[in-house]
A and B are shown apart, each in its own frame.
Chain A
Amino acid sequence: MNKEWPIWEVFIRSKNGLDHRHAGSLHAADAEMAIQNARDVYTRRQEGVSIWVVESKDITASNPEKSGELFEPAKDKVYRHPTFYNLPDELKHM
């Protein structure tokens, strides 16, 4: 029998309006414990206002060995960035 608790990934929203960001991972026996552990481990210095936890095994990750085919083709396609427009000077925050 595996006596280790499963691993959970923790996402913390630092304040309202912002996105949840990955904070780290931890061990917990169930979701409720994962939330409590995340609260105790990752928000003890006021880091957050909201916590998501998801069991690590439920995350499907891209295969690092396939990073060539997945990501490299985008490298030479600078035209996918909207950087070729002439912006009027009055337009800010772009």
Chain B
Amino acid sequence: MKEINKELLFDYIIQLGDSSMILGQRLGELCGHGPELETDIALTNISLDLFGQVRNYFQYAAEIQGEGKTEDDIAMLRYEHEYRSALLVEQPNKDFAYVIARQNFYDHYHYMLLEFLVNSKDEQIAAIARKSIKEVEYHLDFSITWMKRLGGGTEESNCRLQDAVDNLYRYTKELTTPTETEKQMAELGVGPDLTSLQASYYNSLNALLTEAEINVPKEIVFQFGGKEGRHTEYMGYILSDFQYMQRAYPNMKW
């Protein structure tokens, strides 16, 4: 393999971690507020899975960076424009249908991403992916069954899921649209060629929507920018919660 530019690899790992981390934070907001005790635990389990994966990525990123920083520095102490998470995952927990649709849109992508990353040319990324893929396979199962249940449930649940899908669908294309870093990583065999995943992403997602009796949105103006640090207005609020401890009590440890 060609020698990989460290800064580029660092940037890529940050991108891999950030979307899962912000989604994990959104799910964490539901702790104690889930619609049922069992669902509350399920969603926080998923959140913890994601944070566990992100820790692995950021430990590796800190090692590559070689500035003596820790995973916590990388996670907690960046400015908003330095977070590279997709716009989808910062969307709020408007209701349970939004939580499930957001999760499912991400899970479809996340699973396909890991399917590639288990064979990444970067050994460490491959190892993290092998550890993560079973967790994400379950996340996908979980969100698929809920999509079908809400879509095929009552008129109310179908309406709410349709509303969530109509509003969140515009953020899906960003997931499979590569940034400059992702393009270069694809050339090196470290990451997947995201453009080539796009067709199968929408095939499986749209097939699920149809099965769940949800209309696939048409004439969508897709939104991009999160992966390049241009976030929606929600991101600042997420970060002020997320970073509060480290900003108020620098170097505080759990």
Q: Which of A's residues lie within 8 Å of B, judged by CB?
A: 5, 26-30, 32-33, 36-37, 39-41, 44
Contact = CB atoms under 8 A, between A and B. Distances in A.
A26 B141 CA distance: 20
Contact of B142 (A26, A28, A36, A44): A36
Contacts of B41: 37, 40-41, 44
A40 B45 contact: yes
A27 B42 CA distance: 13
B45 A33 contact: no
Contact of A37 (B42, B138, B141, B149): B42
A27 B141 CA distance: 19
Nearest to B138: A39
A34 B37 CA distance: 13
Interface in B12-53: 36-39, 41-42, 45
A44 B45 contact: yes
Contact of A33 (B37, B138, B145): B145
Contacts of A37: 38-39, 41-42
Contacts of B142: 36
B146 to A, nearest CB: 8
A74 B251 CA distance: 67
Nearest to A38: B38
A41 B41 CA distance: 7
A26 B38 contact: yes
A26 B36 CA distance: 10
Contacts of B38: 26-28, 37, 40-41
Interface string B103-128: 00000000000000000000000000
A1 to B, nearest CB: 10
Contacts of A44: 41, 45
Given A36-B145, A37-B42, 15 more contacts: A27-B36, A27-B37, A27-B38, A29-B149, A30-B149, A33-B145, A33-B149, A36-B142, A37-B41, A39-B138, A40-B38, A40-B45, A41-B38, A41-B41, A44-B41
Interface in B31-84: 36-39, 41-42, 45
Nearest to A40: B42
Nearest to B38: A37
B212 to A, nearest CB: 14
B42 A36 contact: yes
A94 B142 CA distance: 47
Q: What 6 A-B pairs come out closest when comparing CB atoms?
A: A37-B38, A40-B42, A40-B41, A40-B45, A26-B38, A41-B41
Contacts of B141: 36
Contacts of B149: 29-30, 33
Contacts of A33: 145, 149
A26 B38 CA distance: 7
B156 to A, nearest CB: 11
